[in-house]
Chain A
């Protein structure tokens, strides 16, 4: 172990700073528990900060996520590590010892003032991962508008080492030689909030393996719909035209045994309906069609949301989409089999198609690393006490929150986080008796 390894002691280690990890951290810290929160990306916020608006309230996602992110960043009881990887967590004598690697941003964080001058000076353009490849960013850049922390990250692989950024930085904080830092955390309990990823867009050969420019992932559409999106509006990536006919293919990665995703991903019906509503708001003359098997609008207020979309003129067609191809103008062509009017298979052309991809876990125990908890058959973390103690994992003292235990929407992920925080608190009360205070 390097002499410079930082040592920290905390009540709870939370892994993943999506909305579930953020909420779990706050629910612990607000009780006076000390928390170390580790996020592998350069900013906290997870998928939620990437969304345009959220169903069923159509609140602006950024507006409701940033205050939570700020509360976490400013909380006296939370130590936040971004751009950091948990290399492993070992349990010994009732405590958890985690080793964390903090990857270099190549800037001195304590001096950076977030002014973006480096970003302006940099001449290297890269694909912007926050916009899912639709926009561009610089080789040194703050990941996105509301990123927390507001520090740029230098992409060492693509940096030309020209020094343009270092020249303009008013605080001389760019450090091309920065090394990874090691941190060791000794915690009384662990919460895993590692979240989800979309099912891969290139998984299905029948749907073109992600090779058609006007067949989008739903997160790409979220970015197009966001007021701070890459094109400043909804346009076709192939030619910048405003689409007048947009289609959604439901269950494009879920309820499909051939993809190893037999389960329902729970949010795709609702996000498709939401996006359809937002599209009909921003492109009033566009036709929007949703090809589906069942519309699963099961949450509070969701059925009403679905009915509103129907009343607004969004067309819901019960049909199976067998294949997607495109014509020479990159117009996607769907081969569909209608279930409601059996005229046999037919081909329909749309300007833009969104594949309603499902959810798979972002971290699977089978990948190793992190911690030795078990997965269930669906790949998500196993919940041995699913009914009465939903936050438990297969290891005592390790709890799960949010989409780490299966697809979930935001409200369910947030509720989950509270339960995980409660379970962790009570586990600490049982295992780590604290000095007498108002409450243990």
Chain B
């Protein structure tokens, strides 16, 4: 079923009759403002049919006054002058609704917080101001259209991209909620990076067990369709109705592409390990310099034996761990990355991962000398600090290097140890130290995976750190600027397993909110195009920041095909940036049109309310909107 969702009805033809209600607020307003005089002044407005003042408009009898006037006096627009709309806008809208009037044919004028309370010493001035403000409210409401919530039909299905712990966690949560899920994993198996971990901090569970636990839950759900060796190659549509093309390269050539209809998309593509540059702390120049993930793999394979710790077939009697490799980089000190920028962010997990690894070395090979070279130790999380303390107690030596002078490594030929790490140590007052080591472990940070092709499909927002970017870093941490596309896990920035799973479950709840009902109801305050006025110039398009909210399209009008701006109300946020540049005033935000603002200014300026022009019933404008598909298919 296709249904065009309009936010303006055909004009009813009824004359515009406004009811004005001025509240005393038990003296809070009427002690300063002459509410009777305000009501009397407004009665002179040619569109005002009823103008009253009353002790408490918000009380039941106050609301009954409005309801009665709507029913008995055929009032079809309402203005209440009272306290702040934050307190009672909803109260009065509901009253209109109860009386059978569209709740948006209402205007609230604040004459308490913004008049009587702030002009206590000037009763006359405050009263004059109130008259002008209420007149402006009347002028606004006579130009107000009936508005209806925008309804978008939804698919009760979600595509999750990436099958690491975050993606699996999101999939399990969504399926538990009754939604269908397609879990798209590029690799040959689920699990992501956690599958590589032996023990995980701080619970000391096995990475493999965690992955297995989640995998079992994923596979046990009939609602989850797992697609291994697959990628997303198409991402069209909008919130509620995405069309996602999943390509499985290993499938038969004519059966590789699979179209999935989904109401929301969760991206959980995770992170890559930072790969140190050739020569960075000696990396690539000496086999004695390895990354933390490589060292963890070697440690896992190293048998417990009297020969002690062996890495790459060589003994490691003295090991230096260097923090912040590829993270917290400083312009001018570190070489820029491929995009010309340094990685100036902290990778969050590497400090604890390093100390956790040090503890494993210490407990399995107590004779190994351990050195930890850091800028700060950031063992912030629950249970993390204990690794730091225990490592220190077990004899690890901690050195703090200055930001501008990262430690260096020089291999030695024929010496007792494989080489020497040279560092300055702030903790011993900037002394330069030379540490003989067999092995240097670089605590490499996180970088986002290369998902450029996925990003390009939808212009997904990317931050300066190259990770995917949320809409609001505090309040809306898992939503992107594209409604219905959500983020989970380390694709958004460094996080550990529990943080990734928490984010994933939050992404799941956001999807569940969107898809809880067969239709999503969105606020009606979005841009609307007046087909008669739009000349197809396309200026508005350049102003819109929201991909897909505004497009130019050919539409049939009076037998001819004309080019018009078309709004997709499911993607428009109603900021009105478009409205400001449209010279024929064809595009406006519903409920906040420029004609309304002009008329308000006229009313504020006018010396005589009675002299304001009578406004006829709104002319029959034809609004063009995107056809929002409702219901099933």
**Direct A/B contact, Cβ within 8 angstroms:** yes
Decide if B593 is an interface residue (CB 8 Å cutoff): no
Please, which residues of chain A bring their CB within 8 A of the CB of B345?
300-301, 303-304
A54 to B474, CA, bound (A): 9
A426 to B175, CA, bound (A): 9
Pairwise interchain contact B501-A406, C-beta atoms closer than 8 A:
no
Decide if B176 is an interface residue (CB 8 Å cutoff): yes
Pairwise interchain contact A304-B502, C-beta atoms closer than 8 A:
no
Please, which residues of chain B bring their CB within 8 A of the CB of A113?
25-26, 28, 56, 58, 83
In B466-507, which residues have CB < 8 Å from any A CB?
467, 472-475, 477-478, 492-494, 497-499, 501-503, 505-507
Pairwise interchain contact B382-A342, C-beta atoms closer than 8 A:
no
Decide if B178 is an interface residue (CB 8 Å cutoff): yes
A74 to B91, CA, bound (A): 10
Task: Decide yes or no: A387 and B380 within 8 Å by CB, A171-B56, A264-B385 being known contacts.
Answer: no
Pairwise interchain contact B177-A414, C-beta atoms closer than 8 A:
no
Q: How far is the CB of B21 from chain A (nearest CB, A)?
A: 15
Q: How far is the CB of B328 from chain A (nearest CB, A)?
A: 6
Decide if A8 is an interface residue (CB 8 Å cutoff): no
With most chain B CB atoms within 10 A of its CB, the pick from A302, A303, A304, A391 is A303
Please, which residues of chain A bring their CB within 8 A of the CB of B330?
307
When the two chains form the complex, which single residue of A30, A304, A414 contacts B475, counting CB atoms closer than 8 Å?
Answer: A414
Decide if B9 is an interface residue (CB 8 Å cutoff): no
Pairwise interchain contact A339-B499, C-beta atoms closer than 8 A:
no
Pairwise interchain contact A439-B378, C-beta atoms closer than 8 A:
no
Task: Decide yes or no: A298 and B380 within 8 Å by CB, A262-B385, A419-B509 being known contacts.
Answer: yes
Decide if B430 is an interface residue (CB 8 Å cutoff): yes
Please, which residues of chain A bring their CB within 8 A of the CB of B498?
386-388, 390
A297-325 toward B: CB 8 Å interface, digit per residue (1/0)?
Answer: 11111111001000000000010000000
Pairwise interchain contact A419-B506, C-beta atoms closer than 8 A:
yes
Task: Decide yes or no: A391 and B505 within 8 Å by CB, A298-B380, A426-B173, A429-B177 being known contacts.
Answer: yes
A39-59 toward B: CB 8 Å interface, digit per residue (1/0)?
Answer: 000000000000000101101
Task: Decide yes or no: A387 and B200 within 8 Å by CB, A294-B378, A418-B509 being known contacts.
Answer: yes
Decide if A295 is an interface residue (CB 8 Å cutoff): yes
Pairwise interchain contact B382-A405, C-beta atoms closer than 8 A:
yes
Please, which residues of chain A bring their CB within 8 A of the CB of B527?
none
Determine the residue in chain A with the shortest Cβ distance to B505.
Answer: A419
Determine the residue in chain A with the shortest Cβ distance to B170.
Answer: A422
Decide if A150 is an interface residue (CB 8 Å cutoff): yes
Q: How far is the CB of B285 from chain A (nearest CB, A)?
A: 28
Q: How far is the CB of A254 from chain B (nearest CB, A)?
A: 9
Decide if B294 is an interface residue (CB 8 Å cutoff): no
A271-302 toward B: CB 8 Å interface, digit per residue (1/0)?
Answer: 00000000000000000000000111111111
Decide if A170 is an interface residue (CB 8 Å cutoff): yes
Chain B residues packing against A (C-beta within 8 Å): 25-28, 56, 58, 83, 86-87, 90, 156, 165, 169, 173, 176-179, 200, 202-203, 205, 210, 213-214, 327-328, 330, 344-346, 348, 351, 376-382, 384-386, 389, 400, 426-430, 465, 467, 472-475, 477-478, 492-494, 497-499, 501-503, 505-510, 512-513, 515-518
**What 20 new A-B contacts, CB under 8 Å, besides A32-B516, A298-B378, A387-B203?**
A57-B473, A115-B26, A255-B385, A262-B385, A266-B380, A294-B376, A295-B376, A298-B346, A307-B330, A339-B426, A342-B428, A378-B382, A388-B169, A418-B509, A418-B510, A419-B501, A422-B509, A426-B177, A438-B156, A439-B512
- State the 10 A-B residue pairs at the shortest beta-carbon distance, nearest first: A170-B26, A418-B506, A419-B505, A426-B176, A294-B376, A422-B509, A303-B346, A300-B493, A30-B513, A422-B505
